[in-house]
C-alpha cells in the first residue's frame, strides 16, 4: 500500500498514491516547487517526499532538481506575471522590505522585471533624488507617482507574459550606462550557474541590466533557489548580494556564500 505519513494529532495517514497525486498537482499548478514546500503541503517529511519525487521522475511525470521538482520541459517554460504573483507572496513582500534597505537617497539604480522587483519599487516611493532605469512596465507604474524619483524606461518590444520590454533596442538603451546597483530577479538560482530564465530575449536584457551596475542584487524567494532554467543570465561570481527568505535551502545558500555572495535572509515568521 506504500508509505504512510506518521499520523499527527487530528491528521489521518496519507498513503503514497494520494500523496504523489497531490505532489503532481502542486507542480503542475506552480511549474516549480521546492522540496520544503512540497513536504509542508502534503504534511510529510522531506525524506518521504524525496522518495516520492524519485518514483514520479521514473514514471516521467516530473523532473527532480536540487531542492525540488519541475514539470518535464520546465527549463523552457516561462510563467506569466499573474501566475508568479500567486506564488510565495508573503515571502516576496518580506524580501522587498529587506532589499529596500540596500537603496539610499541619491542612488542611481536599475530594476528588472518580476513580481518581487515590483514589490521593491512600491517601497522606494519614500526615497529622494533616486534615478531608476527599468524595462518593467509594472516597476515604472509603481514609481510613477513619486515626484522625487526620475524613472527612465528602456526601449524595446513588449513581452506580454512578464509586462517588460525586451530585445535589441532594450539592450542598446542600457549600453554605456553606469549605476550603483542592479536589482534583478529570474526564474531560478543555483550555485553552479547563477541566475537563469527560460527566455533568451529576457536573459539578454537581464545581462545588460547587470552589466550596467557596480553591484548586482538578486531578489529570489525560496521557490527559485536550487532551480535551474534554460538560459543563464548572471553567473554566480557576478552576483554580489542575494536577498531571499528563510525557506531557501541552506545547502544552496552555503554554496553561494562560499562563492562570495552576500546573503540577506528576510524573516517571514
pLDDT of residue 77: 52
What integer pLDDT is reported at residue 5 of this predicted model? Answer: 40
**Highest mean pLDDT, choosing among 48-62, 65-79, 106-120:** 106-120
Which range (27-31, 116-120, 220-224) has the least confidence?
A: 27-31
From edge to edge, which strands make up the β-sheet containing 188-190? 188-190, 194-197, 231-234
Q: Is residue 115 part of a domain?
A: yes
Q: Which is more confident, 30 or 166?
A: 166
Give Cβ neighbours of residue 89 (< 8 Å, ≥ 6 apart): 115
Assess whether 67 and 94 both reside in one domain. no
Buried b (16+ CB within 10 A) or exposed e, 153-171: bbebeebeebbbbbbeebb
Asked whether residue 192 falls in the same domain as residue 216, the answer is yes
What was the pLDDT predicted at 37? 83
User: Is residue 219 domain-shared with residue 97, that is, in the same domain?
Assistant: yes
Asked whether residue 30 falls in the same domain as residue 119, the answer is: no
Residue 150 and residue 245 share a domain: yes
Query: What's the Cα-to-Cα distance from 157 to each of 1, 133, 175, 187, 188, rounded to whole Å?
Result: 54, 16, 17, 20, 23
pLDDT tens by residue, 123-167: 999 999 999 999 999 999 999 999 999 999 999 999 988 899 999
126 against 25, higher pLDDT: 126
Per-residue pLDDT for 2 more than 80?
no
Q: Which domain holds residue 55?
A: 16-72
31 and 108 both lie in a single domain? no
Is the pLDDT at 70 greater than 80, yes or no?
Answer: no
pTM metric for this prediction: 0.72
Looking at the structure, tell me whether residues 59 and 147 fall in a common domain.
no
What's the CATH code of the domain at 259?
3.40.50.10470
177 and 65 fall within a common domain: no
| 206 or 26, which is more confident | 206
Q: What is the pLDDT of residues 210-238, one digit of tens each?
A: 999 999 999 999 888 988 888 899 999 99
The number of domains in the chain is: 2
Confidence at residue 121, expressed as pLDDT on a 0 to 100 scale: 97
Query: Of the given ranges (68-72, 220-224, 256-260), which has the lowest mean pLDDT?
Result: 68-72
Both 37 and 140 in one domain: the answer is no
Residue recorded with cell 506564488: 87
- The CATH number for 51's domain is 1.10.10.10
Same domain membership, residue 252 and residue 129: yes
Check whether 35 has a pLDDT greater than 90. no
Which tops the pLDDT comparison, 12 or 41?
41
Cell 557576478, located at residue? 238
Q: Which of 52, 72, 92 is the last residue of a domain?
A: 72
Q: Is residue 6 part of a domain?
A: no
Q: Is residue 105 part of a domain?
A: yes
Dist. CA 200–CA 172, nearest whole Å: 16
Percent of the chain with pLDDT over 90: 59
What local confidence, expressed as pLDDT, does residue 29 receive?
72
Q: Is the pLDDT of residue 12 over 60?
A: no
State residue 223's pLDDT score: 85
- Mean pLDDT, the chain, rounded, equals 87
Residue 226 within a domain: yes
pLDDT tens figures, 197-217: 888 899 999 999 999 999 999
Q: Which of 38, 53, 72 is the last residue of a domain?
A: 72
59 vs 1: which has the higher pLDDT: 59
Any domain includes 199: yes
Instruction: Give the end of a domain, one of 72, 93, 118.
Output: 72
The 3-class SS string of 59-75 reads: CCCCEEECCEEECCCHH
120 with 231, same domain: the answer is yes
Same domain, 86 and 185: yes
Considering only CA atoms, which of 24, 25, 18 is closest in space to residue 4? 18
Amino acid at each position: 500500500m506504500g508509505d504512510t505519513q506518521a499520523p499527527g494529532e487530528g491528521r489521518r495517514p496519507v498513503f503514497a498514491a494520494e500523496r504523489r497525486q497531490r505532489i503532481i498537482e502542486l507542480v503542475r499548478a506552480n511549474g516549480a516547487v521546492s522540496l520544503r514546500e512540497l513536504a509542508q503541503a502534503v504534511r510529510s517529511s522531506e525524506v518521504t517526499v524525496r522518495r516520492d519525487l524519485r518514483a514520479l521522475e521514473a514514471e516521467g511525470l516530473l523532473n527532480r532538481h536540487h531542492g525540488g521538482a519541475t514539470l518535464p520541459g520546465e527549463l523552457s517554460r516561462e510563467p506569466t506575471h499573474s501566475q508568479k504573483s500567486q506564488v510565495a507572496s508573503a515571502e516576496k513582500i518580506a524580501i522587498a522590505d529587506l532589499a529596500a534597505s540596500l537603496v539610499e537617497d541619491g542612488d542611481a539604480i536599475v530594476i528588472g522585471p518580476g513580481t518581487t522587483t515590483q514589490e521593491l519599487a512600491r517601497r522606494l516611493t519614500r526615497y529622494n533624488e533616486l534615478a531608476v532605469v527599468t524595462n518593467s512596465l509594472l516597476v515604472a507604474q509603481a514609481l510613477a507617482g513619486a515626484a522625487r524619483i526620475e524613472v527612465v524606461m528602456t526601449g524595446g518590444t513588449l513581452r506580454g507574459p512578464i509586462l517588460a520590454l525586451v530585445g535589441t533596442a532594450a539592450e542598446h538603451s542600457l549600453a554605456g550606462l553606469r549605476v550603483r546597483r542592479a536589482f534583478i530577479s529570474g526564474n531560478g538560482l543555483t550555485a553552479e550557474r547563477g541566475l537563469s530564465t527560460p527566455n533568451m530575449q529576457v536573459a539578454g536584457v537581464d545581462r545588460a541590466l547587470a552589466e550596467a551596475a557596480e553591484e548586482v542584487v538578486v531578489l529570489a524567494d525560496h521557490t527559485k533557489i536550487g532551480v535551474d532554467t534554460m538560459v543563464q543570465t548572471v553567473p554566480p561570481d557576478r552576483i554580489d548580494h542575494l536577498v531571499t527568505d528563510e525557506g531557501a535551502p541552506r545547502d544552496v545558500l552555503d554554496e553561494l556564500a562560499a562563492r562570495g555572495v552576500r546573503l540577506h535572509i528576510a524573516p517571514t515568521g
